[in-house]
Amino acid sequence: MDISTKTDAPPPAPQPTVAEQKRAARGATRPGDRIFLGLSRGSGILLLAIMAAIAVFLTYRAALAISKDHANFLTTFEWNTNVLEPKFGIAVLVFGTIVSSVVAMVIAVPVAVAIALFITHYAPRRMSGPVAYVIDLLAAVPSIVYGLWGALVLVPHMNGLFGWLDDFFGWTGVFSWDQGAPRSMLTVGILLAIMILPIITNVSREVFRQVPQTHEEAALALGATRWEVVRMSVLPFGRSGVISASMLGLGRALGETMAVATVLSPSFDIQASLLNPGGGTFAQNIASKFSEANEFGRDALIASGLVLFVITLLVNGAARLIIARRAEYSGANA
Amino acid sequence: MKLQRKNRLRALSLGAVAVTGALALTACGSDDNGGGGNASGNPSTSAGAGSIKCDNAKGQLLADGSSAQKNAIDAWVKNFSQACGVQINYKGGGSGAGVTAFTQGQVAFAGSDSALKPEEVTASKSVCKGGQGIDLPMVGGPIALGYNVPGVDNLVLDAPTIAKIFDSKITKWNDPAIAALNKGAKLPDLKIQAFHRSDESGTTDNFTKYLIATTPDNWKYSGGKAWQAKGGQSAPQSAGVAQQVKQTSGAIGYFELSYVKDGLKAVSIDTGASKPVAPSSESATADIAAAQVVGTGKDLSLKLDYKTKAEGAYPITLVTYEIVCDKGNKADTLPATKAFLRYIAGEDGQKILPSIGYAPVPDEIIAKVRTTIEGLS
């Protein structure tokens, strides 16, 4: 604080003004601080400016397209932009995107949590390392490779599962199957589940590892079994962390492009059954229509991208709400 | 020290896994792609390479457009660049991408499955100083209906049946409508799996134009590059559709003739002529011969006759165009563009087409194309 210590004779103690006191309270203002403040403030503003530019661009191009749409943008089951009276709508895409992601989450979250628990609490230390490493490797596989594997290996092997589901659960309608090639929403969901598994597992593992030793020891001292320890101290502590992890996974599932485009048999109608081919997702539709689209068609695809963006925002917002409400029960966000 | 060695070992084994993995994966990848491009066999590369007139052609040509004619362009480019030393880079990114690149002045010529629309002609005027973009028909080709039905070798269908099959109105192979067209064939009690394109495509556009023209009562959709009928299954690109049809018992799909191979069979069309017509280069050329030039001025866009009943004329055909400026081509690429177009419209260029599954443009029309090419400036 005191900048005048060079002289031998101590100067009379300066009377700090109110402004100086305030500045002192805020912290020092040497050049380094000011430069760093400027840099970080600049980065923040730059980010906002970029986001605003993207939003303006998306909204402008989307508005151009939607104003020329000869059908209802929200409810039309058709995407035909290359004709005189273009018609396009996102109903099928919203449905397909949400259904495939939900299927993926239903499969991936329990498995990921189980793997994370196994690595942190059950596996011998020598084993947990390699298992965690293999899970990480899953994240390193490019999505087009997943697509190829899905189309050439997974799809041909789904016939047995589909037949079994149709035999026993066909009456529900959700699992009825017309014997088409198994390139349906369920197959896509399974593939997406494999793709989002590593990110959910990794984050959950880190959270479970943070559980205070004392919690677990206390539970053990009360005579809890290992499962009871997990249920009473590990899971409640990690809940919000697992939710955040799932949201990261969901984000990837919502936006996955090439794997879905390769594995799904897309068409512009909604199938009640998860097993019959059909439907489509936002990202898949953009990927498959973009190369032949004219200027207007691209605007229409941008409009659909904007909707995906909004859906992702809503999902993330909802997740934040859930985590905020649960924060008081857990130490993860403390 | 010990630790280090262990780490090194681990890194080595990891590297080995990664390398073998990558090798295995790339092997898969190239297998998969092999079905699409070159499998139709190499064209006779020496065909008349000596007679190509190069004039002042030099430098590099950029082009983009229809993937339907990519195999033909590749064969032509190989011969032409051997003879003249001009590099031609045809991207094959799709007709839409080609036309966009052309109207933005990025390419010397574009390939397209459909003729320029009025607004695209307007857009081309800013690139073609004092002129406009014109369509030159260069490559014809039959769109085959490939099928995979065990025990059925010579399937015959007519337009209404095709429309009903692709509109999910006929769902079994032993349907009476199919049986009536195939007397004596053993049609199985098998579900029909009709495959269409999942991406936008000129092939879809031409196939549905045929259905709209011949059987409007059974095909009530407006057409366009995107598939509109509900139901059925889909796959990306012609290669993708062909592969799915090959894999799926009871499947039928539409794609260029060059994809009909390895056990796939093509439907013969009952057009009302005395015998059903199978897709081939000759039967497609016979159909295009009846096409009318509807372009004005130097534009030579064609109107195909889908309702033809001429003997031996296959009705589901597609013509791809090369799009250039009639006037105002860029001075530095004009000689090369002209020389290349002169070669592909010439006898030597057109002669290659049947060997790679395409159809030559009929004499009367190609003669007009040649005259137009000489007049480009």
The model's pLDDT over A210-235, given as tens digits with 9 standing for 90+, comes to 888 898 899 999 999 989 999 988 99
User: Which of A291, A301, A304 to probe the B interface (max B CBs under 10 A)?
Assistant: A291
Distance separating alpha carbons of residues A288 and A81, to the nearest angstrom? 13
Distance separating alpha carbons of residues B175 and A23, to the nearest angstrom? 88
Percent of the residues in chain B that have a pLDDT greater than 90, as a whole number: 51
Return the structure tokens found at B365: 């029309």
B233–A77: do the CB atoms touch at under 8 Å? no
Q: Which pLDDT score, from 0 to 100, does residue A19 have?
A: 65
B224–A288: do the CB atoms touch at under 8 Å? no
Q: How would you classify the pairing of strands B193-197 and B233-235?
A: parallel
Q: Which residues of chain B have pLDDT under 50?
A: 1-3, 21, 23-48
| Per-residue 3-state assignment (H helix, E strand, C coil) for chain A | CCCCCCCCCCCCCCCCCHHHHHHHHHCCCCHHHHHHHHHHHHHHHHHHHHHHHHHHHHHHHHHHHHHCCCCCCCCCCCEECCCCCCEECCHHHHHHHHHHHHHHHHHHHHHHHHHHHHHHHHCCHHHHHHHHHHHHHHHHCCHHHHHHHHHHHHHHHHHHHHHHHHHHHHHHCCCCCCCCCCCCHHHHHHHHHHHHHHHHHHHHHHHHHCCCHHHHHHHHHCCCCHHHHHHHHHHHHHHHHHHHHHHHHHHHHHHCCHHHHHHCCCECCCCCCCCCCCECCHHHHHHHHHCCCCHHHHHHHHHHHHHHHHHHHHHHHHHHHHHHHHHHHCCCCC
Facing B200 at nearest CB: one of A262, A269, A289? A289
Q: Is B219 helix (H, G, I), strand (E, B) or coil?
A: coil
Q: Which pLDDT score, from 0 to 100, does residue A36 have?
A: 94
Nearest to B260 by CA among B276, B277, B278: B278
Q: Which pLDDT score, from 0 to 100, does residue A22 have?
A: 63
Q: Which long-range contacts (C-beta less than 8 Å, at least 24 apart) are formed by A52-60? A: A58/A302, A58/A305, A58/A306, A58/A309, A59/A306
What's the Rg (C-alpha) of chain A?
A: 27
pLDDT band (50, 70, 90) for residue A9: low
pLDDT in tens, A151-192: 889 998 999 999 999 999 999 989 998 888 889 999 999 999
Amino acid sitting at position A152: L
Distance separating alpha carbons of residues B112 and B65, to the nearest angstrom? 6
A295–B100: do the CB atoms touch at under 8 Å? yes
Distance separating alpha carbons of residues A140 and A148, to the nearest angstrom? 15
Q: Which pLDDT score, from 0 to 100, does residue A299 have?
A: 93
A148–B28: do the CB atoms touch at under 8 Å? yes
Q: Give the rounded distance of the alpha carbon of A282 from its chain centre.
A: 15
CB pairs under 8 A between A and B: 95
Q: Give the rounded distance of the alpha carbon of A3 from its chain centre.
A: 51
Q: How would you classify the pairing of strands B233-235 and B133-148?
A: unpaired
- Residue A319: count other Cβ atoms within 10 Å of its Cβ: 18
| Nearest residue on chain B to A258, alpha-carbon basis | B236
Q: Which residue has the higher pLDDT, A40 or A11?
A: A40
Residue B313 near residue B290 (C-beta atoms within 8 A): yes
Q: Which pLDDT score, from 0 to 100, does residue A146 have?
A: 95
Q: Which pLDDT score, from 0 to 100, does residue A221 have?
A: 92
Q: Give the rounded distance of the alpha carbon of A168 from its chain centre.
A: 33
Determine the average pLDDT of the residues in A299-328: 86
Return the structure tokens found at B101: 């690149």
User: ipTM score here?
Assistant: 0.75
Facing A179 at nearest CB: one of B191, B228, B231? B191
Facing B226 at nearest CB: one of A79, A148, A291? A79
Nearest to B62 by CA among B104, B94, B91: B91
Q: Which residues of A touch B28 (CB under 8 A)?
A: 148, 152
A292–B198: do the CB atoms touch at under 8 Å? no
Distance separating alpha carbons of residues A80 and A285, to the nearest angstrom? 12
Q: Which long-range contacts (C-beta less than 8 Å, at least 24 apart) are formed by B98-103? A: B98/B63, B98/B64, B98/B65, B98/B66, B98/B323, B99/A294, B99/B65, B99/B323, B100/A294, B100/A295, B101/B64, B101/B65, B102/B64, B102/B65, B102/B127, B102/B133, B102/B323, B103/B127, B103/B133
Q: From its phi and psi, is residue A5 left (phi > 0), alpha (psi between -120 and 50) or beta?
A: alpha
Nearest to B134 by CA among B344, B341, B358: B341
A289–B226: do the CB atoms touch at under 8 Å? yes
Distance separating alpha carbons of residues A271 and A263, to the nearest angstrom? 16
What residues in chain B have their Cβ under 8 A from chain A's Cβ atoms? 25, 28-29, 32, 93-97, 99-100, 191, 193, 196, 198-202, 205, 222-228, 230-236, 244, 247-248, 251
| Nearest residue on chain B to A134, alpha-carbon basis | B14
Q: Sign of torsion, CA A160 A162 A163 A164?
A: positive
Residue A16 near residue A1 (C-beta atoms within 8 A): no
Half-sphere exposure of B78 toward its Cβ, with a 13 Å CA cutoff? 13
How many angstroms away from the CA of B6 is the closest CA of chain A? 15
User: Which of B31, B225, B245, B249 to probe the A interface (max A CBs under 10 A)?
Assistant: B225
pLDDT band (50, 70, 90) for residue A21: low
Residues 6+ away with beta carbon under 8 Å from B200: A82, A288, A289, A291, A292, A293, A297, B94, B96, B225, B226
| Cα distances (Å, whole numbers) of residue B112 to A199, B50, B109, B131 | 44, 29, 10, 19
In this structure, what is the dihedral angle of CA atoms A207, A213, A215, A216, given to the nearest 10 degrees?
90
| Nearest residue on chain B to A86, alpha-carbon basis | B224
| Cα distances (Å, whole numbers) of residue B144 to A155, B148, B267 | 26, 13, 7
Distance separating alpha carbons of residues B148 and B150, to the nearest angstrom? 6
| Per-residue 3-state assignment (H helix, E strand, C coil) for A21-33 | HHHHHHCCCCHHH
How many angstroms away from the CA of A78 is the closest CA of chain B? 7
